[in-house]
Amino acid sequence: MARLVGRSVVDVCGEMTWPAVTFSVIELGYKCRNAPESLTKSDHLVLASIVDAYLQMIHDPAKKRNAVCREIAKASLEVT
């Protein structure tokens, strides 16, 4: 079972953490494409965590990846 930690991190089964899918993450994507000069150090750290999560996802077996994605989506709904 996943739970939201703060407003930006999802803890999945106490074993791993993933960036939550929030409106601020969606805004960050927009900012990267349209105003990259405005990115802050905090933005860079969030982006790095998203890249790490992506790399983990593509290396995980499909069954685990799908289960983790479902849990992240459920927990992220709490913030969006």
Tens of pLDDT, residues 9-20: 788 877 778 777
In 3D space, the residue among 3, 38, 37 whose CA is nearest the CA of residue 17 turns out to be 3
pTM of the model: 0.72
Domain that holds residue 70: 2-76
The pLDDT tens digits for 33-65 are: 999 999 999 999 889 988 988 898 899 899 988
- CB-based burial label for 20 (10 Å; 0-12, 13-18, 19+): buried
How many structural domains compose the chain? 1
